[in-house]
Homo-oligomer: A and B are copies of this chain.
Amino acid sequence: MTLGQTRTAAIPTIKRLPLYLRSLRDLQVQGEAFASSAALAKELMLDPIVVRKDLAITGVVGTPRRGFPVDALILAIMEFLGWSNTTDAFLCGVGSLGRALLGYEGFQLYGLRIVAAFDANPDKIGTKEHGVKIFDVRKMPTMIERMHIQLGILTVPADAAQSAANTMIAAGIRGIWNFTPVKLEVPDTVVIQRVDLASSLAVLSHRLAAQAAGCPLSPG
């Protein structure tokens, strides 16, 4: 992804953009040149007004009756999300989740390339995992600086999360994709996005149990 975009949009719109991208790529594969907002809305089960409003932020203009030009819209969304160029990221913590993410090829679609991984375990240092080399975590700061890495993926154990984040930030990382359950304390200039599998599973387990017992969930 490329940093330095100036346009902005509401979070729900940004979250829907990957959905449009997927539908548009399907249409592209099928050889369709145009996509109507009504058809996109129907496929994604959204209100057509929402679709038109969301896509307006790309600046791509539709043609009456035909809709939006598919190729141009794909490029514009990729550009908007900063996914048209590849961003290099470091991953810190090659435990079971870290290894899993290193093996996830889907990130390439989003312009994310994990170029190196770090761990404190001497048995792991120097080895490769899914083609990505694992370095001594003590080398992370100098490598962040030298390679101008701006994005870090945090998959260390919870008790190491804040200190690993501090190390990343001190060396120049500006965004952290936080897969640990820890709520990180970071300066305002650093962006944190959290994916908490434990919380997600907790909510699922609890909703399943409440459903089984016939109890409505308390509003939250």
Tell me the bound Cα distance from A190 to B158 in angstroms: 32
Indicate how many identical chains form the complex.
2
- CB neighbours (8 Å) of A112 from chain B are 201
A185 and B5 in contact, given A82-B205, A207-B175, A220-B11 (Cβ under 8 angstroms): no
- Asked if A26 lies at the interface with its beta carbon under 8 angstroms from chain B, I say yes
Q: B8, B15, B105, B202: which contacts A202 (Cβ < 8 A)?
A: B15
Q: How far is the CB of A22 from chain B (nearest CB, A)?
A: 5
- Asked if A10 lies at the interface with its beta carbon under 8 angstroms from chain B, I say yes
Query: Considering residues A11, A13, A110, which has the most beta carbons from chain B within 10 angstroms of its beta carbon?
Result: A11
Chain A residues close to B by CB (< 8 Å): 1-6, 8-19, 22, 26, 44-45, 80-83, 87, 96-97, 99-101, 103-107, 109-112, 150-151, 158-159, 174-175, 177, 181-183, 185, 189, 191, 193, 195-213, 215-220
